């Protein structure tokens, strides 16, 4: 979603101390030599929930990706940019502010897809996929290591249009997000589980969030501590724990696993557009089902989400039928 339509917004000048330490700097810095190509925008854009996301955005003017989140050690603002391209791999510079700064800097490699060599995938029988992969070196799955951080916006995206979900996410961050530490005044830290549980029903209505999503949000917030343990579990066990929460199904669990755990085999079964997009790419047929999509992706089991991302980046669009869907705005009732 975000990777295909990311618009660079909220321009904020990069603090000089990100490039070199100076007096009065409240943040701490890390330089990471990745030993491989890093697609910073392509990887981290998956975390952006629409153009106006107040927790994650990319500043085109400075080449910096800004992120605000709540870590196990406290709130943090993280600024990441590509510092240099070298023969033996790219160099990434990161600076963080707030109580969670050390935690955030330690997780920069995982956030950008890890430092392990890219796993080999046989694309020899699919020239278009091979070409997309060749044009996008360094594209990885991000792993934030934070579950509620990804679960809240994902639940808001259940069974509504992206526009509705992103508007609700912005509204939630404005009303209940905390000002992020550091120099970027546009950022908001997503609300804690305790805050989510205290939000009254009428506010959710104002945010255009229906009762089924509110129930799922409250159920997730109630067991947030247990869900955060998923980041240290095997992927399938983590998915099973996520799906045990009322209102979190296969699609929601997969979307969270892709971003929180960097799980490259999580397929978003139940997505409105995805099955037809994948089936159209491989067969030319206008429409497809989840079952057909899974059958086509089976040869790449273990890396199916990676294949899906290549398919969506290929620019082959399924045909459209009928008028465009007009979403129902609950706030009018």
User: Is beta strand 74-86 parallel, antiparallel or unpaired with respect to 64-71?
Assistant: antiparallel
Q: What is the pLDDT of residue 72?
A: 97
Identify the band that residue 247 occupies on the pLDDT scale cut at 50, 70 and 90.
Answer: very high
Q: How confident is the model at residue 243 (pLDDT cuts 50, 70, 90)?
A: very high
Q: How far is CA 179 from CA 98, 111, 196, in A?
A: 11, 22, 16
- Please state, rounded to an integer, the average pLDDT across all residues of the chain: 90
For 253, residues 6+ apart whose C-beta sits below 8 A from its C-beta are 239, 242, 243, 266
Q: What is the mean pLDDT of residues 159-174?
A: 96
How sure is the predictor about 327, in pLDDT bands with cuts at 50, 70 and 90? low
Report whether pLDDT(40) > 80: yes
pLDDT at 11 > cutoff 50: no
At 24 the pLDDT is 39
Alpha helices in 72-223 (DSSP H): 101-106, 108-111, 127-135, 148-156, 162-176, 193-198, 201-206, 211-222
Q: How confident is the model at residue 332 (pLDDT cuts 50, 70, 90)?
A: low
Residue 67: which H helix or E strand, with range? strand 64-71
253 pLDDT higher than 50? yes
| Average pLDDT score over residue span 273-294 | 96
Q: What is the mean pLDDT of residues 49-62?
A: 94
pLDDT digits (tens, 9 = 90+) for 114-130: 988 888 899 999 999 99
pLDDT confidence of 62, banded at 50, 70, 90? very high
State the residue for tokens 């549980």.
Answer: 197
Yes or no: say if 260 and 149 are a contact pair by the CB < 8 Å rule.
yes
| pLDDT of 97 higher than 80 | yes
User: How many helical (H) and strand (E) elements, i.e. helices and strands, does the chain have?
Assistant: 16, 7
**Residue 5: pLDDT band with limits 50, 70, 90:** very low
Mean pLDDT confidence for 28-43: 96
**What is the reported pLDDT for 318?**
76
Q: What pLDDT was estimated at residue 17?
A: 42
The answer to whether the beta carbons of residues 214 and 200 sit under 8 Å apart is no
Taking every pair of C-alpha atoms in the chain, what is the biggest distance, in angstroms? 61
What pLDDT is attached to residue 331?
59
What is the pLDDT, as a whole number, of residue 18? 55
pTM of the model: 0.90
pLDDT band at 93 (very low <50, low <70, confident <90, very high): very high
* Between 26 and 232, the higher pLDDT residue: 232
Of 1, 333, 327, 332, nearest to 164 by C-alpha is 327
- Tell me if 79 sits within 8 A of 187, measured CB to CB: no
């Amino acid at each position: 979603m975000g990777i295909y339509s990311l618009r660079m917004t909220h321009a904020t000048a990069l603090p000089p101390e990100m490039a070199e330490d100076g007096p009065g700097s409240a943040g701490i810095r890390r330089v990471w030599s990745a030993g491989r190509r890093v697609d910073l925008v392509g990887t981290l854009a998956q975390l952006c929930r629409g153009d106006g996301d107040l927790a994650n955005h990319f500043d085109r003017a400075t080449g910096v990706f800004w992120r605000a989140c709540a870590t196990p050690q406290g709130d943090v603002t993280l600024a990441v940019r590509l510092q240099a391209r070298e023969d033996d791999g790219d160099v990434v510079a990161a600076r963080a502010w707030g109580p969670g700064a050390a935690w955030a800097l330690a997780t920069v490699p995982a956030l950008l897809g890890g430092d392990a060599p890219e796993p080999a995938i046989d694309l020899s029988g699919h020239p278009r996929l091979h070409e997309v992969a060749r044009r996008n070196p360094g594209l990885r799955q991000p792993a934030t290591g934070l579950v509620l951080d990804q679960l809240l916006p994902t639940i808001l995206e259940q069974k509504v249009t992206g526009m509705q979900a992103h508007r609700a996410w912005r509204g939630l961050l404005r009303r209940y997000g905390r000002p992020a530490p550091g120099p970027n005044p546009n950022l908001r830290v997503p609300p804690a589980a305790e805050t989510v549980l205290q939000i009254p029903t009428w506010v959710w209505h104002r945010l255009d969030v229906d009762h089924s999503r509110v129930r799922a949000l409250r159920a997730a917030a109630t067991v947030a501590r247990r869900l955060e343990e998923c980041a240290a579990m095997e992927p399938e066990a983590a998915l099973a724990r996520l799906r045990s929460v009322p209102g979190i199904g296969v699609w929601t669990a997969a979307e969270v696993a892709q971003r929180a755990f960097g799980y490259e085999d999580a397929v978003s079964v139940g997505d409105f557009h995805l099955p037809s997009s994948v089936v159209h790419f491989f067969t030319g047929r206008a429409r497809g089902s989840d079952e057909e999509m899974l059958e086509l992706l089976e040869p790449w089991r273990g890396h199916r989400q990676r294949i899906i991302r290549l398919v969506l980046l290929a620019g082959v669009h399924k045909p459209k039928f009928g008028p465009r869907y007009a979403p129902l705005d609950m706030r009018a009732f």
